[in-house]
Chains A and B, each alone.
Chain A
Amino acid sequence: MKLTAYFREFFLRNGLTLGVFLLTAVAFWMLVLILLPQVFMVDFSLRHNLPPAAVGGPQDVYTLEHFKFMLYGSEQARGSYNTVDLSVFFRTLLAAVFVTIFDFALCYPIAFFLAKVAKGGWARLMVLSLLVPFWVNELLRAFAFRIVFGNTGVINAVLIWAGIIDQPIDFIRENIALYAGLSYAFILLMIFPIFNAVESLDSNQIEAARDLGSPWWRIHWRVVMPFAKPGITSGCTMVFMLSAGALASPQILGGPSSLWFTQIIYQWFQTGNNWHRGSAYAIVLLASTIIFVLIMMKVFKVKLGEIAG
């Protein structure tokens, strides 16, 4: 009854044509584009990988096979853990955390500098120039890092020329190129939320803290960072989620002996020909990153609403 009243009011306010448009568009987006695909993916991950003829037959029952596979490996090798996939999984999460911390350490000073220190035309030019690298395709950015970090790349050439090393360092095998490339890819996503948050801080607060004799690091620790916490959190969340879910950079910059978790998912789809298992792995990735972010928010005492606002 309440619902019909609600809808009546909705159509009264918007008129019939517009109301129908709004409802269909939003319903299409939420259901067909977002929610149903996720539901189907979960359903898919809980089924056996059967030949097309057997789909829907008596064998087509729900199973946890694919999740078990990620934990314990194939049926024959039960008893020990699936160390290959699990180590890739944890290494990916750890590396994503590392990339996030690195990006924060790099971007917080820059964001503060742009918001509070830099003035006038220079500040505007710097903000604009931050955008330029992000007009370049993600793959091309990774490609650029491959050139820079390659065996005959600029960095090795400079180091050899300076006499610091006499053999080129294999940055790609050491995954240094990958971490540098991933951190690079998400700089903008870290800077802008922090920049927005810091900019809205009243500069008088900083002045007051300084006048009261606070050293610069304590001003940041006790005044600026607590104020900018929502911005910092949303920046860190985005960088963490996106670097854990990155595919292009690890494919291009990853060392030959190390994989990113998304690459395993990709392999199940493209070469392993087991979409069910790939879906299961994708769900593990999605769930674990979300849970990790929620735990971190709890640790740092940030509420979800603060970020959205």
Chain B
Amino acid sequence: MKSDYLMRIAVLLFVAAFFTYLFGPLVTMGLTAFNSSEFPRVTPWDCFSVEWFNVLAHDNELMHGVRNSLIIGIGVIALSVPTGLAGALMLTQIGPRIRPWYYTIVIAPILIPGVVLGISTLVFWDSLGRLFQAGENSIFYNGLFLTIVGQSAFISSYSMLVFISRLQRFDPALEEAALDLGATHVQAFRKVLLPFLKPAIGSAAVLGFLASFENYNTTVFTVLTESTLTTVLASKVRYGINPSISALAVAIVALTLIGAVVFEIAKRREQAESIEASRVARGEIAQRAKRRGIWADPVLLMFIAICVAAAGGIYLRGTTGVTECKANVLKARRAATQRKIKELRARRMFQQAAPSEQTGTAAGSKPQQKIEAEGTKGYRNVFAPQNLEEQASGKKKKKIEAPGTKGYSNVFAPRNLEKQAIGKDKAKE
């Protein structure tokens, strides 16, 4: 089947293209964090260096934002996990008639644009503040509080979804048994339901924290005069960018990856233990094997060792010989600039040698004016006929010029050329 074979190749190519799209930009950004170039780029590659991480660590504004983001994240967990839990429990108890309405209202914040949530929160608390005639320093005008409240509106929906999916596997008979055996409602809740929901509480908290930490659309409205990581980042990215932002991305990805691996190791341990426990219960094995704490887990220790080694290697490689390498790059660039200037000068001479030819062809349709123009050199009047000619001949000239000189009106000033050539290399974007 030839068509089958072609089909398979097409599918594989599509999958490959998809994952390139998925990871290409992130990998590129990660690489720019290690390039010593002032502007985040991969080509041309200057020097392998970790200086941008250093710049990042000394960025006080950003660190202040990170601190605020952490506070907000913790506040959001404290608010959204209980409300999400209550929302999920409520959903199991209300009647079928109001159920769709209830569900629509509590799920809506996920779909409402974050901008709208931020604005409505801001306006609401502002109005409340005016109603109670609260001062500027009251809670109604506190950016951190408003952000916690605004983000919790939709993060509670996330955590509710997490709890709903866990509750679907809960056997209500367990709770009934507890109540029948004389437990109070609170006891049944605390001793039966909460332990069952424990993993869901963990995931809801992690999910909520991550969602809060990376939220921008809502935060930018509710944060007022305060700043968070995302608002600082946004202003940095908009007003000039440098690779320390890439370095931040590398740090975040590295931390989350490490966190994910540690989480996976912990989960596998737990699974192994529970399997062992059930085998003990069935009498297949006499006793559970003794295990040391999670921090002595061999897989984890190996993973930590690899991470430390990799970080150390990168640090060493990125700090040794960077200065010399940079000097070399600068020298090479200067030489290239000199060469470019020489080329441009040669071209300029060539152009000066044959200027009349060009103007002749360009303004050929108006021979009368052309003769006049010879005498009007130096006028900068709009009405000077020469103006037309300059424009016309300028168009012609551009085609002859090297691609590097595109867009410069004053080709005849050598100082200009030099400046441009150097500037272009320095601040290429």
**Interface: B220 (CB within 8 A):** yes
**Interface: A153 (CB within 8 A):** yes
Chain B residue contacts of A55, Cβ below 8 A: 130
Q: Is the CB of A10 within 8 A of B32?
A: no
**Interface: B72 (CB within 8 A):** no
CB under 8 Å from chain B, chain A span 1-45 = 10, 13-18, 21-22, 25-26, 28-30, 32-38, 40-41, 43-44
Q: A138 to B230: give the CA distance in the assembly, Å.
A: 9
Interface hub of B119, B152, B221, B248 (most chain A Cβ within 10 A): B119
Instruction: Report the stretch among B37-45, B340-348, B376-384 that lies at the interface.
Output: B37-45
Q: Is the CB of B152 within 8 A of A33?
A: yes
Q: A32 to B19: give the CA distance in the assembly, Å.
A: 42
Q: Is the CB of A266 within 8 A of B120?
A: no
Q: Is the CB of A247 within 8 A of B252?
A: no
Interface residues of B, count at CB 8 A = 87
Chain A residue contacts of B253, Cβ below 8 A: 132, 135-136
Nearest-neighbour CB distance to chain A for B100, whole angstroms, equals: 7
**Interface: A137 (CB within 8 A):** yes
Chain A residue contacts of B263, Cβ below 8 A: none
Q: A282 to B221: give the CA distance in the assembly, Å.
A: 12
Nearest-neighbour CB distance to chain B for A274, whole angstroms, equals: 12
Q: A117 to B4: give the CA distance in the assembly, Å.
A: 14
Mark A147-191 against chain B: 1 for CB-CB distance below 8 A, else 0: 110111110010000000011000000000000000010010000
Q: Across the two chains, which residue of chain A brings its CB closest to B245?
A: A143
CB under 8 Å from chain B, chain A span 111-150 = 113, 117, 126, 129-130, 132-133, 135-148, 150
Q: Is the CB of B185 within 8 A of A148?
A: no
Q: Is the CB of B217 within 8 A of A147?
A: no
Instruction: Report the stretch among A71-79, A80-88, A235-243 that lies at the interface.
Output: A235-243
**Interface: B385 (CB within 8 A):** no
Nearest-neighbour CB distance to chain A for B325, whole angstroms, equals: 20
Partner of B120, one of A40, A135, A136, A139: A40
Q: Is the CB of B119 within 8 A of A265?
A: yes
Q: Is the CB of B28 within 8 A of A113?
A: no
Q: A37 to B100: give the CA distance in the assembly, Å.
A: 21
Chain A residue contacts of B25, Cβ below 8 A: 141, 144-145, 147-148, 184
Q: A66 to B53: give the CA distance in the assembly, Å.
A: 47
**Interface: A286 (CB within 8 A):** yes
Q: Is the CB of A26 within 8 A of B87?
A: yes
Partner of B89, one of A22, A38, A153: A22
Q: A278 to B186: give the CA distance in the assembly, Å.
A: 46
CB under 8 Å from chain B, chain A span 244-265 = 244-248, 251-252, 262, 265
Chain A residue contacts of B241, Cβ below 8 A: 143, 146
Mark B22-54 against chain A: 1 for CB-CB distance below 8 A, else 0: 111110110010000001111100000000000
Mark A43-85 against chain B: 1 for CB-CB distance below 8 A, else 0: 1100000000001000000000000000000000000000000
**Interface: A206 (CB within 8 A):** no
Q: Is the CB of A34 within 8 A of B186?
A: no
Known: A30-B106, A266-B220, A282-B115. A140 touches B185 (CB 8 A): no
Q: A47 to B265: give the CA distance in the assembly, Å.
A: 57
Instruction: Report the stretch among B121-129, B266-274, B387-395 that lies at the interface.
Output: B121-129
Q: A278 to B256: give the CA distance in the assembly, Å.
A: 36
Q: Across the two chains, which residue of chain A brings its CB closest to B19?
A: A129
Instruction: Report the stretch among B7-15, B285-293, B314-322, B349-357 that lies at the interface.
Output: B7-15
Q: Is the CB of B22 within 8 A of A22?
A: no
Partner of A187, one of B22, B126, B214, B257: B22
Nearest-neighbour CB distance to chain A for B213, whole angstroms, equals: 8
Chain A residue contacts of B114, Cβ below 8 A: 245, 247
Known: A152-B429, A245-B217, A308-B107. A136 touches B41 (CB 8 A): no
Q: Is the CB of B234 within 8 A of A136?
A: no
Q: A160 to B318: give the CA distance in the assembly, Å.
A: 30
CB under 8 Å from chain A, chain B span 61-110 = 82-83, 85-87, 89-90, 93, 100, 103-110
Q: A238 to B157: give the CA distance in the assembly, Å.
A: 14
Q: A138 to B219: give the CA distance in the assembly, Å.
A: 13
Q: Is the CB of B115 within 8 A of A38?
A: no
Nearest-neighbour CB distance to chain A for B394, whole angstroms, equals: 18
Partner of A242, one of B100, B113, B406: B113
Q: A44 to B397: give the CA distance in the assembly, Å.
A: 59
**Interface: A100 (CB within 8 A):** no
Known: A136-B249, A146-B241. A113 touches B15 (CB 8 A): yes
Q: Is the CB of B113 within 8 A of A28?
A: no
Known: A33-B153, A110-B15, A137-B249. A308 touches B109 (CB 8 A): no
Chain B residue contacts of A117, Cβ below 8 A: 11
Q: Is the CB of B86 within 8 A of A29?
A: yes
Q: Is the CB of A147 within 8 A of B120?
A: no
Known: A113-B11, A135-B210. A22 touches B103 (CB 8 A): no
Partner of A34, one of B90, B153, B256: B153
Q: Is the CB of B93 within 8 A of A34?
A: no
**Interface: B156 (CB within 8 A):** yes
Q: Across the two chains, which residue of chain B brings its CB closest to A166?
A: B403
Partner of B123, one of A37, A137, A145, A305: A37
Q: Is the CB of B123 within 8 A of A34?
A: no
Chain A residue contacts of B262, Cβ below 8 A: none
Q: A13 to B175: give the CA distance in the assembly, Å.
A: 11
**Interface: A295 (CB within 8 A):** no
Q: Which residues of A contact B (CB under 8 A)?
A: 10, 13-18, 21-22, 25-26, 28-30, 32-38, 40-41, 43-44, 55, 106, 109-110, 113, 117, 126, 129-130, 132-133, 135-148, 150-154, 157, 166-167, 184, 187, 216, 237-238, 241-242, 244-248, 251-252, 262, 265-266, 269, 275, 278-279, 282-283, 285-286, 289, 304-305, 308
Q: Which residues of B contact A (CB under 8 A)?
A: 7, 11, 14-15, 18-19, 21-26, 28-29, 32, 39-43, 82-83, 85-87, 89-90, 93, 100, 103-117, 119-124, 126-127, 130, 149, 152-153, 156, 184-186, 189, 210, 213-214, 216-217, 220-221, 229-230, 233-234, 237-238, 241, 245-246, 248-249, 252-253, 256-257, 403, 406, 428-429
A-B residue pairs in contact (CB < 8 Å), sample of 23? A15-B189, A18-B189, A26-B86, A33-B121, A34-B105, A36-B124, A37-B121, A129-B19, A132-B257, A137-B233, A137-B252, A139-B230, A140-B248, A146-B241, A147-B42, A152-B39, A152-B41, A167-B403, A216-B7, A262-B217, A269-B221, A275-B122, A304-B104
**16 other A-B residue contacts (CB within 8 Å) besides A35-B105, A132-B257, A146-B237:** A16-B185, A22-B90, A33-B152, A38-B120, A55-B130, A106-B18, A130-B22, A133-B23, A136-B249, A136-B252, A150-B429, A152-B429, A187-B22, A241-B113, A286-B112, A308-B100
